[in-house]
Structure formats: structure tokens, C-alpha cells
Structure 1
Amino acid sequence: MTEPKATVRIVCAGGAVQDNVMRVEKFPEPGGKVSATDFIVTSGGQAGNAAVAMARLGARVTYIGAVGDEHDDVANSILRAFAKENIDISKAIRVPGARSAASLIMLDAQGEKMIATLRPQGLHAAVPDDPAGTVAQADAVMLDNRYSNISLPICQAAKACGIPRVLDFDKPTPTDDPLFQCCSHVICSADAIREATGVADLPGALKKLGASFSGFLAVTNGPQGVYWLDDGAVRHLDAFQVEAVDTLGAGDTFHGAFAVRFVESRDVVDAMRFAAAAAAIKCTRFGGLMGAATRAEVEAFLKEHA
């Protein structure tokens, strides 16, 4: 493994959510009740999860996204959680009169999840006031596509600086979407790429989406690993097999870890293997991204699975 860069600096742009998570043995039937065995309130969201994952891996992370105003307890809780992870929250946009997003989540005994998310519309009108200044010292930007009002200006500023732009493609969008086309590295969820392309087969979906995109393109598929395009050919990397306790945030962990490692090695295969290890460790721990791995843990895991 290439020696890590002294301090990787990444701007993480997009949504942050408060996750209210309960662990249950099995999901209730419609109208039914079940007993929970554990409960946690933590930060979440695509960009929020990726920010925590990257900070745990030793990156210097700046979070920029729209959250509720100073009177919103949910927003205050999210930002406090980020600050405890040594994430720079000075660029967070407090939207007057708005509430932050929140999710209700149930996790079953196999680590699978059911999620309901409230995304207040007031957050989608906010925009960064200084995108160029925000990315000026960054080595890369990590973006989600559910809050393009934040992510697109940051992505455009990063492109102007020639720095990598990694997109978490979790919301199906057309191929001419400006944010999608502005990114250098796009990693899709399986559900999003299937819905965006209308192709159920993941290699086929990759080829269809890749016909309209010139950058690096991949799709994660949980325990089935990751597929990516390599000069038009579809390649595959196995996931590390672990006993999953909580899959919440595993995809976001993969994206964040990929961004950190790619800055260090400039090798997409090395970055994906590093990201797969970080995601696997996260899946073995309850608590969403509070179970994110440290750099030392990922490196020890990779050595064990060499």
C-alpha cells in the first residue's frame, strides 16, 4: 500500500440527516408491533456519513451543506456530532426558518434496513456563498446528488481547480444532469443505476450509463462487491465477506474511503479495495456511521485479508 499523504483535505458537500435508529429482530408486518433491542440517535445522510467516515480515516474534512437554523435542535445535534469528529463545520449553511432532515430507521437481525426520511424543502434553495474559496485548499471534493443546489457549485469550482470530484450517485438522474457530467468519479448505488438506465443487469446498466460519461464509473452492490468500467469493459471486485450487523451508511463509507485513498494513491482499484474494507468493518457494528472504522483498523483488516 502506498504511504498515505500527510493530510488529505476533502470538502464534503450535500445532505446531513439526524438518524433515529432502532434494532429489531425482524421488521413488523403492516399495522403490527415489534420490540426493539437497541436504539441510537446519530448523524447521517449521504454527505454527512461520508464526512464522518473520511474524518475517521484521518482526512481533514470540511462539511458544506444546508441545515436548519440556530433554533433547530436537530441541526444543532448534527453539527455537534460533526465537530466531535474534528470535521470543520464553518461552511455549514444555516437556513433561516428551516428544519434539518431526519430519518426513522429500523435494522433487522441481518443488518438490513427500512428507512423513512423527511427532507424539508427549505434546504433545497440554499447555495454556497464562496464555492471557489471553499475548495481552494482541497485535494478532492466528495458530493451527493440529493442536494445539487450545494453540490453543483462546489463541483464546478473544484473542476476549475482540476481536483478530483467524487459523486455518490444515489438519486436516479438523467445522463445530461450537470452534476453527473461535472464529476470525475461517479459511484452509483445498484438501485439508482437500475432506475436511471432501466436496465436490471448491473454490467449492462454500467455500459448504458457509461456511454454518456467520460470519467470513472462504478456501481456498488453490497455483499456482491463493486463493478466498474475499464476502457469499456466491465470489471468486478469482490466484497469482503463479514457478518453484517448494521448496513446503514456502508455505501457512504465506501464513497468517502474511496475519495481519501484515491487522493493518496491515484489508483482506482487500490482505492476501491480500501473502500471495501472500510465498508465491511462498518457493517459489523451497530450505530450507523458511529461504527465507522479508523485508518489503523482498515489497514489491519487489509493485512489480515491480503
Structure 2
Amino acid sequence: MSIIVIGSVNVDIVTYADRAPRPGESLTGHRYSMVLGGKGANQSVAVARLGAPVHFIGRVGADSFGEFIRTRLAGLGVGPDHLAIDSQLPTGLAVIGIDARGENAITVIPGANTGLAVEQVETAFPLFADVKVLLAQLEHPFSATLRAVELARRAGALAILDPAPVPTFPFEADTIRLFDALTPNEIETEALTGIAPVDIEAAAAAARRLRDTGLPLALVKMGARGVYVDGADFQGHIPPFPVKAIDTVAAGDCFAAGLAVALAEGMTTESAVRFAAAAGALACTKEGSSEAAPTRQEVEALLTRNSRAS
């Protein structure tokens, strides 16, 4: 059993300040860090931290940032064997500003991520022999994801899409139902459905609109208000886990990874989403992107504490 992640990988330059600068303003911050990032890399590392075998299909430039990424991935338990090197495009870069509340603003320069193509997926064909779940996002060419979904389907695997960032291309019912699950946040949910999930009732309506396309499982992430789930075997609201958030950068990626691991292990939908929500909540308690991913033991401990408290 393995999980395949196809997606972006960046070097993240993270800055910390009391607040975000206003337009035209130069603001003095406290500090900065350079870390591994990109939704694909973040999700891959999070899957590895949760104890599942993972393969990552991504792309970097032939530069020092690319070498940094390959070294960091290996150090965090993700093999770089299918991290292709692009001779024309630089490694992707993200500049992330974090304020005193833990909220973030991100500018991404995709670089080599835009070169991730169908041909690269084809070279990774042997990985799909024992895949259980395919996990994808939208920070790389969608044509590559579609080919990966096709190969995953042939292997009997589930396909999960984290539709981030908001699609800039037609994303209609025929595309949505190619996947087994979608995990949009509030902004993405409104873009996909026309419904802003401002409360549980609105989130339920948005999830139902996604399900009406033929999508088997819709999970509307509502930030600090939890997750609304609409699936064949469970419909309802999963409340948030109470944690002290200091950095929300990796929350969505750790949620996606937690969901992939839980479904690969055969958990019920409700249990899988609770597991994913715990992973996402714990990511908010640490700084960084990939480095913020919790371990399996940390997730299970939070689930246990929450169960006792309720």
C-alpha cells in the first residue's frame, strides 16, 4: 500500500512580523526562515510523518534551491527519485508573510513546477502498481494530474484533489466527478459552487452542490469553524480541534495528507475526516511548511484527548 502525491515543490522564504504591510509600506519584521514548501512537497512530508509509504512526483530547477529541496525531502522521509530536474526553469519560490495572529499571505513564483508534464507521469508508471490513494493539487499543470488520475483508477486507487489555488481554468461537473474527494477551503468553495460557507448551513449547501456533480465525497473546510462533510456514508459537521494557532501555512496540506492516509487504511469517512482535522490542527501549532507536519503519535494523542474531553 502506498500513497502517491503529485504536485508542486518550492523553497519558502517565510517572514514574521506583527502585521502585514499596507500597499506602499515598508515594514520591519522580526525574523525569517528558508524552508521546504509547495503543496505537493508539504503533503508528501505530512504523509511520511503519519507513517505511510509515499512517492512524490514533482519538479525542480538545476540550481542550488533544487539541491536544497532534494536534500530536505530525503531528510524528511520522502525519496527524491521522481523529482525531475528542469534545465530551463528555476526552482519554484514562495514568499510567505506571517502576522502575529498566525495568518499568512503568500506570493508564489512557480518556476519548474509549470514544467511538470504528462511525460514525467508516464516515467513514474511503475509507482502505480500498488498505489492506494493519489493526492493532487492545482499548483502544477492539470494535464499531468489527469494522467495520474487515469493510472490511479486503473490500479483501483482513490483520487483526492485539494483544489488550491482556485482553478483558473474551466472546472465543471465533468472534471469534478473524476475525483473521489475534493477538499476546498472557504475561498475555493465559493469559487467552485457560488456559495460562501459562512456557517454550517451554507457549507452543507455548498457540499451538496459539489456532490450533485457526481462527486462521491465533498469536504468543505471552514477554517476555525471545522469541516462540513457530505459523503455516501456520512453527512455532517466535524467541529474543530482546540489548539493555539501560531502559523496556519501547512494546515490545509496536513489535512489532505491525513485524509489520504486514513482512507488508505480503510477508516470510515467520519473517522478519516476527524483524523485529517486533527493533523491540520496540529500543523497550526508549529512554524513552517513541511516541517510543521505532525507525527502519527501526535495526531492519535490529540484524538484521544479530544475524545476524553467530549
Scaled by the length of structure 1, the TM-score of the pair is 0.90
Provide the rounded CA distance (Å) in 1 between the counterparts of 2:246 and 2:292: 10
Is 2:53 the counterpart of 1:56?
Answer: no
Provide the rounded CA distance (Å) in 1 between the counterparts of 2:2 and 2:107: 32
Name which of structure 1's ranges 202-211 and 45-54 shifts more when overlaid on structure 2.
Answer: 202-211
Q: Quick check: 2:94–2:106 contact (8 Å CA) kept in 1?
A: yes
Q: Quick check: 2:181–2:215 contact (8 Å CA) kept in 1?
A: no
Q: Quick check: 1:66–1:150 contact (8 Å CA) kept in 2?
A: no
Q: Per-residue displacement from partner, 1:42-101 (whole Å, max 9, x unpaired)?
A: 111111111111111111111102222xx3222222222111112121112222211121
Partner of 2:286: 285
Partner amino acid, structure 2, of 1:123: T
Structure 1 pair 202/232, CA: closer, same or farther in 2 (3 Å)?
farther
Aligned equivalent of 1:142, options 127, 131, 135: 135
Alignment of structure 1 residues 86-97 onto 2, 5 Å: 86-97=77-88
Q: How many pairs align? A: 296
Name which of structure 1's ranges 245-254 and 157-166 shifts more when overlaid on structure 2.
Answer: 157-166
Structure 1 pair 190/122, CA: closer, same or farther in 2 (3 Å)?
closer
Q: Per-residue displacement from partner, 1:263-300 (whole Å, max 9, x unpaired)?
A: 11331111111111111111011122212111111111
Partner of 2:236: 235
Tell me, what secondary structure is at the counterpart of 2:301? helix
Partner of 1:85: 76
Aligned equivalent of 1:195, options 191, 198, 206: 191
Structure 1 pair 41/122, CA: closer, same or farther in 2 (3 Å)?
closer
Partner amino acid, structure 1, of 2:104: K
Provide the rounded CA distance (Å) in 2 between the counterparts of 1:121 and 1:66: 6
Alignment of structure 1 residues 47-126 onto 2, 5 Å: 47-68=40-61, 71-120=62-111, 123-124=114-115, 126=117
Partner of 1:44: 37
Is 2:155 the counterpart of 1:161?
Answer: yes
Q: Per-residue displacement from partner, 1:161-195 (whole Å, max 9, x unpaired)?
A: 111111112233522454x3322122112211211
Tell me, what secondary structure is at the counterpart of 1:199? coil
- Structure 1 residues not aligned, in runs of 5+: 1-7
How big is the shift at 1:125?
5.6
How big is the shift at 1:139?
2.1
Tell me, what secondary structure is at the counterpart of 2:177? helix
How big is the shift at 1:232?
10
Provide the rounded CA distance (Å) in 1 between the counterparts of 2:74 and 2:195: 41
Is 2:178 the counterpart of 1:182?
Answer: yes
- Structure 2 residues not aligned, in runs of 5+: 197-201
Provide the rounded CA distance (Å) in 1 between the counterparts of 2:257 and 2:116: 25
Partner of 2:221: 220
Provide the rounded CA distance (Å) in 2 between the counterparts of 1:80 and 1:261: 28
Q: Per-residue displacement from partner, 1:123-157 (whole Å, max 9, x unpaired)?
A: 24623233532211222211113322332211110
Partner amino acid, structure 1, of 2:264: V
- Identity percentage over the alignment? 28
Provide the rounded CA distance (Å) in 2 between the counterparts of 1:286 and 1:232: 35
Tell me, what secondary structure is at the counterpart of 1:151? helix
How big is the shift at 1:19?
1.0
Q: Per-residue displacement from partner, 1:208-265 (whole Å, max 9, x unpaired)?
A: 2221123111111111111121349852111112111000010010000110011113
Provide the rounded CA distance (Å) in 1 between the counterparts of 2:39 and 2:19: 25
Q: Quick check: 1:131–1:157 contact (8 Å CA) kept in 2?
A: no
How big is the shift at 1:109?
0.9
